[in-house]
Copies of this chain bind each other. A is one copy, B any other.
Amino acid sequence: MDDLTEMLKGTLEGCVLEIIGREETYGYAITRQLNELGFADVVEGTVYTILLRLERNGLVQVTKRPSGVGPPRKFFALNDAGREELAAFWTKWQYVSSRIDRLKEGGR
């Protein structure tokens, strides 16, 4: 699937929040998960900018831990604000996607 980038605007951050919400994890692993999920073209740089933004906005708690197989990893976990943001994201997604689907099915 080619060039989904415009369509991912505003949703990719939510996806990252969801992934972090499941278990504490780090940038490189998040990128791999997104790729396996079908967003094959999402690249590390993109995920890191999102993670830095989440950190700057106070939605995550960050812990640095050594890796054993490479440089130290920055682990991210949601805090209360992050969980709220995630819930708000899914609410919005539900709202938007249902309306677009209705439009698609010929609704008015």
- A1 and B95 in contact (CB under 8 A), knowing A6-B9, A9-B6? yes
Q: State the copy count for this chain.
A: 2
Please measure, in the bound complex, the distance between the C-alpha atom of A77 and the C-alpha atom of B104, giving whole angstroms.
Answer: 18
Q: Does A69 contact B (CB under 8 A)?
A: no
Query: Which residues on A are within 8 Å of B, measured CB to CB?
Result: 1, 4-11, 15, 18-19, 33, 36-39, 90, 92-93, 95-97, 99-104, 107-108
> By the criterion CB–CB under 8 Å, are A95 and B4 in contact?
yes
In the complex, residue of chain B having the shortest beta-carbon distance to the beta carbon of A39: B99
Q: Which residue of B lies closest to A3 (CB)?
A: B92
Check B96 against A15 for contact (C-beta < 8 Å). no
* CB proximity of A57 to chain B, nearest CB, Å: 14
